[in-house]
Amino acid sequence: MEDLDSLSRADLIRLILELQRQIEDLRKQNEELRRKNKRSAASFSKGERKKNPKRPGRKPGQGQFSRRPKPSAEASSGPPVDVPVEGTRCPFCGGQLEREEPEEASVTDMPAAPEPEVSLFRVHVCHCQKCGRKTRGKHPDVAADQ
């Protein structure tokens, strides 16, 4: 850089304008770096998109699916446990509950010994005469959606 005392007024103004432009560029770069540091995760996109991407998930008919078979009555470690419905009113709308046939639910525990413990529960079910919704008995060993 030349000696500033030897520069003309027009040269000094050009120098000041150039320095101001550089300062503004550095401020923009600084702000971009701050924004990048605030992001907690990398962006998902890594390049160009595929032209014909496959749909996510398992395709219909792929693989064999079957529900676990119901355990036999002999496999149960004891007699079925009755799980009555608590209350006589629908917990959703307050309507009168009417008894239905109980559903069977089972819990199979696999202890360290190879013989599993199977507990059979007779879960009582009622339906509301007013709104028609079903209410099942509750037991701590039986899941609500089982």
Quote the pLDDT of residue 43.
66
Quote the pLDDT of residue 26.
96
Distance, in Å, from the CA atom of 97 to the CA atom of 85, rounded to the nearest integer, reads: 9
Which residue pairs from 62-66 have beta carbons closer than 8 angstroms and sit at least 24 positions apart in sequence? none
pLDDT by residue for the chain (146 residues), tens digit each? Answer: 557 888 888 988 999 999 999 999 999 999 888 887 776 666 666 778 888 888 888 777 777 777 778 888 788 888 888 999 888 888 889 899 999 998 888 888 776 767 778 888 888 989 899 898 888 888 888 887 77
Q: Which helix (H) or strand (E) holds 105?
A: strand 103-109
Distance, in Å, from the CA atom of 40 to the CA atom of 146, rounded to the nearest integer, reads: 39
Quote the pLDDT of residue 20.
96
Quote the pLDDT of residue 1.
52
Quote the pLDDT of residue 69.
82
Quote the pLDDT of residue 117.
80
Rg value, the chain, Cα = 37
DSSP assignments along 86-99, one per residue: S-SB-TTT-PBEEE
Q: Give residues with Cβ within 8 angstroms of 90, minimum separation 6.
A: 96, 97, 128, 130, 131, 133, 135
